[in-house]
Amino acid sequence: MGLMQQTIFEQAVLFLAALVVFTSFLMLAQRRLFPLVGLFAWQGLLLALTTALVAFNLHYPHLYASALMTLLIKAVLIPLMLRRWIIQLDIHREVESLVYPAYVMMAASALVLFSYYVVLPIEQLSTLASRNAIAVSFAVVLLGMLLMISRRQAVTHVVGFMSIENGLFFAAVTATSGMPMVVELGVAFDVLVAAVLFGVFFFHIRSSIDSLDVDQLNRLHEVER
Amino acid sequence: MNWLTSIVETALFILLAPLFAGWVKWVKCLLQNRRPPPLVQPYRDLAKLFRKRPMIADTASWIFEAAPFVVFVTAVFAAGIVPFAIAHLPTAKVADLIVLVGFFALGRFFLTLAGLDLGTAFGGMGSSREMMIASLAEPAMLMAVFTLAMSAATTNLSQAIDWVLQTGLVLRPSFVFALAGLMLVGIAETGRIPVDNPATHLELTMVHEAMVLEYSGRYLALIEWANQIKLMLYGVLIANIFLPWGIAESLTPRDLALGFASIIGKLAVLGIALPISETLFAKMRVFRYQEFLGFAYLLSLLGMLSHVILEVN
């Protein structure tokens, strides 16, 4: 079933899926922290929109609730929290230097292709119109990992981690039309708690090594430098 | 009969190109609180340059004199390939999108040769920068073109436009990405802000102006005109590939009037969007070109990927 046989709403789901993976790419290229958090908020917003559209297409009222929850937690609450910590840690003027940005971008494109090939047999099992987007959600997961691997700043790692969670949520919505409400509530609060814990960790890392550069955590220091 | 119409249409395209450049300049002046020149000012400039006696340096070889003609003729041929207001034309059928990219490359090759020919410092600098931009922009443009070609299963522009018209309004992520990529490439290739500033002769930032610094008289007029044609070509390409609605599919007077009215309307809108983006953004450093064009390439690549992943089954 090609794109042309689908209704405009099903097309819109796939279109938003493409935009979600686009925000992941933009996050990989973003050096500053505030715009990075802003991109993360945009991804959350797109995710909420997609969920609402899927709910509309399939007439699943409980998905509206999870769309609203995604909007509140991932597009508003967590970005606001991250913003506040960035200001409190006084790192909002820092510009992170990217290591080999061109290679990271190439790796990112390769990951998208890889996820497409991996997901191809899984797509055969699904009958939903949005099944083509499963590859995209898997790609968002892998791109989030790439963001964590290629950066050194702890806040960026957290954004990468959250965007992995976004990818998983997206996969659940597009492949199986959403998880049960209980599971979704649990995951949402887990994410929120994780975000709070990360905040606590930021301040701990900062007070112990006087920096948020996680590369400095590679070495063990027996004595104070 | 058909060949005659297509020749007339191409001639019209070439004659309207300075008007489009004048429109862009007019809107830009208004946006920057300056008093705009009249819309026909580019025609007056061209007429003045054609009347003037060209000066040629002693060190110039035949390439220097031949280059403006090659640049102009390739621009005219490219204008013949791209459907302007009528979808089915014999000129559009004999050549496809890859030939179009080839014409652009040929014209650019001769312009950079001409820049190097006199051995002046500016010419060489401009040529090297132009080649750098070209080497980065061409893959992005080809990738955007291939995205279109894969969707429509043809590299022919007429057939691709037919295909878009037949399928109607479909929300294609690949087309949106390819459109954005092609716009960025167009900005880079026609030397607009933020890649190059067409209005300045400030030495350190020039790209296009540095190459044609030694030209005068009718040679300069030909190069300027070719540049205006190129700007309009990108505009028509973007308008007709991605939003072809309204283009004339037959030669009845009603279709023709609708076709011309719609393409002029689309170009007028693009001619407002371009100066707005030029007013909002500042010119980039030369060393950031590769980021800009890398982004264009990424957009085109995402267009291709989203076509493969999301749109085909």
Could you state, in order of their start, the residue ranges of all structural domains in chain B? 2-311
Confidence of residue B311 (pLDDT cuts 50, 70, 90): confident
**Distance of alpha carbon A162 from alpha carbon A217, whole angstroms:** 21
Lowest-confidence pick of A77-81, A85-89, B204-208: B204-208
B contact test, residue of A1, A3, A109 with most B CBs within 10 A: A3
Q: Is B167 on the interface with A (CB under 8 A)?
A: yes
Q: B173 vs A17: CB contact, 8 Å cut-off?
A: yes
Mean pLDDT of A63-80: 91
Mean pLDDT of A217-223: 67
Handedness of CA A62, A63, A68, A70 (dihedral sign): positive
d(CA A209, nearest CA chain B) in Å: 34
Q: B306 vs A133: CB contact, 8 Å cut-off?
A: no
Q: Is B163 on the interface with A (CB under 8 A)?
A: no
d(CA B148, nearest CA chain A) in Å: 15
Lowest-confidence pick of A213-222, B8-17, B44-53, B183-192: A213-222
Q: Is B301 on the interface with A (CB under 8 A)?
A: yes
Q: Is B302 on the interface with A (CB under 8 A)?
A: yes
A3 against A173, higher pLDDT: A173
pLDDT tens per residue across span A98-127:
878 888 988 999 999 999 999 888 877 777
Q: Is A114 on the interface with B (CB under 8 A)?
A: no
Q: A133 vs B310: CB contact, 8 Å cut-off?
A: yes
**Distance of alpha carbon B262 from alpha carbon B266, whole angstroms:** 6
Confidence of residue A19 (pLDDT cuts 50, 70, 90): very high
pLDDT tens per residue across span B66-75:
999 999 999 9
B2 against B141, higher pLDDT: B141
Q: Is B38 on the interface with A (CB under 8 A)?
A: no
Cα of B56 vs its chain's centroid, Å: 28
One-letter amino acid for residue B211 of the chain: M
| Nearest by Cα to A76 from A118, A47, A119, A112 | A47
| Nearest by Cα to A98 from A9, A24, A190, A31 | A31
Handedness of CA A180, A185, A188, A190 (dihedral sign): negative
Q: Is B105 on the interface with A (CB under 8 A)?
A: no
Mean pLDDT of B184-198: 88
**Distance of alpha carbon A130 from alpha carbon A15, whole angstroms:** 10
One-letter amino acid for residue B33 of the chain: N
B contact test, residue of A6, A15, A113, A130 with most B CBs within 10 A: A15
Q: Is A136 on the interface with B (CB under 8 A)?
A: yes
Tell whether the model's pLDDT for residue A225 goes beyond 60: no
How many other CB atoms sit within 10 Å of the CB of residue B153?
9
Mean pLDDT of B97-101: 90
Counting one residue from chain A and one from chain B, the pairs whose CB atoms sit within 8 A come to 61
Mean pLDDT of B105-124: 92
**B 230-289 → A contacts, CB under 8 A:** none
d(CA A3, nearest CA chain B) in Å: 5
Q: B309 vs A19: CB contact, 8 Å cut-off?
A: no
Instruction: List chain A residues with CB under 8 Å of B294.
Output: 102, 105
- Mean pLDDT across chain B, nearest whole number? 90
pLDDT tens per residue across span B142-163:
999 999 999 888 888 888 888 8
Q: A22 vs B302: CB contact, 8 Å cut-off?
A: yes
3-class DSSP state of A89: coil
Q: How much is the pLDDT for B238?
A: 92
User: What's the per-residue H, E or C state across chain B?
Assistant: CHHHHHHHHHHHHHHHHHHHHHHHHHHHHHHCCCCCCCCCHHHHHHHHHHHCCCCCCCCCCHHHHHHHHHHHHHHHHHHHHCCCCECCCHHHHHCCHHHHHHHHHHHHHHHHHHHHHCCCHHHHHHHHHHHHHHHHHHHHHHHHHHHHHHHHCCCCHHHHHHHHHHHCCCCCHHHHHHHHHHHHHHHHHCCCCCCCCCCCCCHHHCCHHHHCCCCCHHHHHHHHHHHHHHHHHHHHHHHHHHCCCCCECCCCHHHHHHHHHHHHHHHHHHHHHHHHHHHHCCCCCHHHHHHHHHHHHHHHHHHHHHHHHHHCC
pLDDT tens per residue across span A128-178:
767 788 889 999 999 999 999 998 888 899 999 999 999 999 988 888 777
Q: How much is the pLDDT for A1?
A: 46
pLDDT tens per residue across span B260-308:
999 999 999 999 999 999 999 888 888 888 889 999 999 999 999 999 8
Q: How much is the pLDDT for B71?
A: 96
Q: How much is the pLDDT for B103?
A: 94
Q: How much is the pLDDT for B267?
A: 95
In DSSP terms, which residues pair with B214 in a beta bridge? Answer: none
d(CA A12, nearest CA chain B) in Å: 7
- Residue A11 is nearest to which of B170, B177, B313, comparing CB atoms? B170
Q: A18 vs B173: CB contact, 8 Å cut-off?
A: yes
Return the domain boundaries, chain A.
3-215
**Distance of alpha carbon B295 from alpha carbon A218, whole angstroms:** 33
**Distance of alpha carbon B294 from alpha carbon B312, whole angstroms:** 26
Q: Is B298 on the interface with A (CB under 8 A)?
A: yes
Tell whether the model's pLDDT for residue A219 goes beyond 80: no
Q: A18 vs B306: CB contact, 8 Å cut-off?
A: yes
Q: How much is the pLDDT for B64?
A: 93
Tell whether the model's pLDDT for residue A5 goes beyond 80: no
**A 63-102 → B contacts, CB under 8 A:** 102
Q: A112 vs B167: CB contact, 8 Å cut-off?
A: no
pLDDT tens per residue across span B217-257:
999 999 999 999 999 999 999 999 888 888 888 888 888 89
* CB-CB contact of A162 with A41 (8 Å): no
- Residue B170 is nearest to which of A4, A21, A136, comparing CB atoms? A4
Tell whether the model's pLDDT for residue A2 goes beyond 70: no
* CB-CB contact of A24 with A140 (8 Å): yes
Confidence of residue A224 (pLDDT cuts 50, 70, 90): low
* CB-CB contact of A36 with A159 (8 Å): yes
One-letter amino acid for residue A86 of the chain: I
Q: Is B307 on the interface with A (CB under 8 A)?
A: no
Q: How much is the pLDDT for A220?
A: 67
Q: Is B11 on the interface with A (CB under 8 A)?
A: no
3-class DSSP state of A213: strand
Say what percent of chain B tops pLDDT 90.
57
Instruction: List chain A residues with CB under 8 Å of B308.
Output: 116
Q: Is A53 on the interface with B (CB under 8 A)?
A: no
